[in-house]
């Protein structure tokens, strides 16, 4: 019986609890709702509680957020902590993006985590809209415009100077030469009456058709005013425009002598660079005070007789009045140009020479030349015409002629001695090439009999050469005894 009572008591308690549960379910759902849906959402009751707590949090006053990493232990009110990710202690100016996490703790022990992202964008300087971002482009465009403008201005100025010189000298040139301004484009010599422009700073003029000279080449060498870099360089090292004149005489219209006069610096340079001055005027440049020349000028001469013959009163008058414009005057019957610099050795024969008169004049102004300055060179052109006639009339006496001939023979002998070894090597090379060509001809012969005869003939020729050398050696020994 006692066991039966123990079973009945739990059964009664279960029956008493069943009506209460059924009544609750009936109150929560309508008649048309499905009870199975309620069973699926087992946590609906807890979600309703969270919604109620969130509503209370919204109505409550905002909590105070503490920037310290630990909450104040003495305060019982709402607490807030700020945690930085990646172990950062604060904001870094070098970072472009900073993340932070804020944890807010309320009195009812509910924690809300809020995440925020602070973006610090640093705009590069070259992306900013300001003129400072384009200073390099501005400098390049400015430099290009300056170069173009300088090119146009410099080219036009050189052209005006050249035309001014030609206008002032044209009448004199046409009165002394039959042809003025041949450009060489036509087969027949035609006088064009104008300058030939070689480039932006060099102008040429060819004149011919005069007694005792083959022709005269005038070259106007202006400064490179069209080049901006050259203009800047001349600010540090000033220079001047030049007029160079080269007169080629006929062989019979000039005697054998070498002479030069000009500034000391120019004479020293020409003596080192020019072949004829270095060989026939070995002495140092001499002063022209004997002839009344200024101290700035010096003379190079093959012999004293030549200096006395060239420096007459009229020539001295021209040089004295225009000493500041004269760079150099060079007369030579052995003119071959500058020294030949060859890495492999000297040439095997003497260079070709011509009887030539060379004049180099400096244009006044030291770069700041005006068209009026070109007119001041007209007396120097008269000096050139006078020099042509003077050299034609100048003749050395018998002693001077013999001395000049000995000097030329000495120069030729020295040249042959210097080139003797090279000529021997060249002759040996020619002999070896001849032997090699003969052997190749014998080897290329298809007929064996003819090839054998050619080899025997070559051996006989070699044997004769050896015997001839032996005979010469015997004769030398007999003469020595």
The tens-digit pLDDT sequence of the chain (481 residues) is 445 545 556 566 665 555 444 444 444 444 444 444 444 454 444 455 545 544 444 444 544 444 444 444 444 444 444 444 444 444 444 444 444 444 444 444 444 445 555 666 665 655 556 677 778 888 899 999 999 999 999 999 999 999 999 999 999 999 999 888 877 677 777 777 788 888 889 999 999 888 888 889 999 999 999 988 888 888 888 889 999 999 999 888 898 999 999 999 999 999 998 988 988 888 888 888 888 888 889 999 988 889 988 998 999 999 999 988 999 999 999 898 888 765 445 566 777 889 999 999 999 988 888 889 899 999 999 999 999 999 999 988 888 889 988 988 888 888 777 776 777 777 778 878 887 887 787 777 777 777 778 788 878 887 777 777 777 776 666 665 5
Q: Which of 360, 312, 310, 357 is nearest to 330 (CA)?
A: 357
Could you tell me the pTM of the whole model?
0.63
Structure confidence at residue 121 (pLDDT): 65
- Rounded to the nearest 5 percent, the helix, strand and coil shares of the chain are 50, 20, 30
CB 246 within 8 A of CB 169: no
Structure confidence at residue 353 (pLDDT): 87
Residues present in the chain in total: 481
CA distance 159 to 82: 83
CA distance 36 to 56: 32
Structure confidence at residue 134 (pLDDT): 78
Secondary structure (DSSP) of 424-446: HHHHHHHHHHHHHHHHHHHHT--
CB 125 within 8 A of CB 99: no
* Token pair of 317 as six digits: 């008058």
- Please classify residue 302 by burial: count the beta carbons closer than 10 Å to its beta carbon, then call 0-12 exposed, 13-18 middle and 19+ buried: buried
How is the chain split into domains, by residue range? Answer: 142-396, 453-480
Structure confidence at residue 161 (pLDDT): 93
Helix (H, G, I), strand (E, B) or coil at 239: coil
């Amino acid at each position: 019986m006692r066991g039966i009572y123990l079973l009945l008591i739990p059964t009664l308690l279960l029956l008493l609890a069943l009506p209460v549960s059924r009544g609750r379910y009936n109150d929560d759902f309508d008649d048309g709702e499905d009870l199975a849906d309620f069973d699926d959402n087992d946590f609906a009751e807890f979600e309703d509680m969270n919604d109620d707590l969130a509503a209370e949090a919204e109505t409550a006053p905002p909590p105070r957020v503490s920037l310290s990493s630990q909450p104040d232990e003495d305060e019982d009110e709402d607490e807030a902590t700020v945690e930085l990710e990646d172990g950062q202690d604060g904001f870094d100016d070098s970072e472009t993006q900073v993340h932070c996490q804020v944890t807010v703790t309320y009195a009812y022990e509910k924690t809300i985590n809020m995440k925020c992202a602070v973006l610090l964008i640093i705009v590069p300087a070259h992306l900013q809209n300001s003129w400072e971002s384009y200073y390099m482009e501005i400098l390049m465009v400015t430099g290009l415009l300056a170069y173009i403008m300088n090119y146009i201005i410099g080219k036009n100025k050189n052209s005006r100077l050249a035309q001014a010189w030609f206008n002032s000298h044209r009448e004199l040139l046409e009165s002394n030469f039959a042809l003025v301004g041949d450009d060489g484009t036509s087969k027949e010599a035609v006088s064009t009456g104008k300058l030939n422009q070689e480039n932006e700073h060099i102008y040429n003029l060819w004149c011919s058709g005069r007694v005792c000279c083959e022709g005269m080449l005038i070259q106007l060498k202006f400064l490179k005013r069209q080049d901006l870099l050259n203009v800047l360089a001349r600010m540090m090292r000033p220079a001047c425009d030049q007029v160079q004149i080269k007169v080629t005489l006929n062989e019979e219209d000039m005697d054998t002598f070498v002479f030069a006069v000009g500034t000391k610096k120019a004479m020293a340079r020409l003596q080192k660079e020019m072949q004829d001055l270095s060989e026939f005027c070995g002495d140092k440049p001499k002063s022209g005070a004997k002839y009344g020349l200024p101290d700035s000028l010096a003379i190079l001469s093959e012999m004293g007789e030549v200096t006395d013959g060239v420096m007459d009163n009229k020539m001295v008058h021209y040089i004295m009045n225009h000493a500041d414009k004269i760079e150099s005057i060079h007369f030579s019957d052995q003119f071959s140009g500058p020294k030949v610099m060859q890495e492999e050795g000297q040439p095997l024969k003497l260079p070709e020479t011509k009887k030539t008169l060379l004049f180099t004049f400096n244009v006044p102004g030291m770069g700041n030349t005006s068209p009026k300055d070109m007119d001041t060179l007209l007396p120097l052109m008269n000096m050139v015409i006078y020099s042509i006639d003077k050299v034609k009339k100048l003749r050395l006496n018998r002693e001077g002629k013999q001395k000049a001939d000995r000097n030329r023979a000495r120069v030729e002998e020295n040249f042959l001695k210097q080139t003797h070894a090279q000529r021997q090597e060249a002759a040996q090379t020619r002999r070896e090439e001849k032997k090699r060509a003969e052997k190749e001809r014998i080897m290329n012969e298809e007929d064996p009999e003819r090839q054998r005869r050619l080899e025997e003939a070559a051996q006989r020729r070699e044997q004769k050469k050896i015997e001839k050398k032996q005979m010469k050696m015997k004769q030398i020994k007999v003469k020595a005894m």
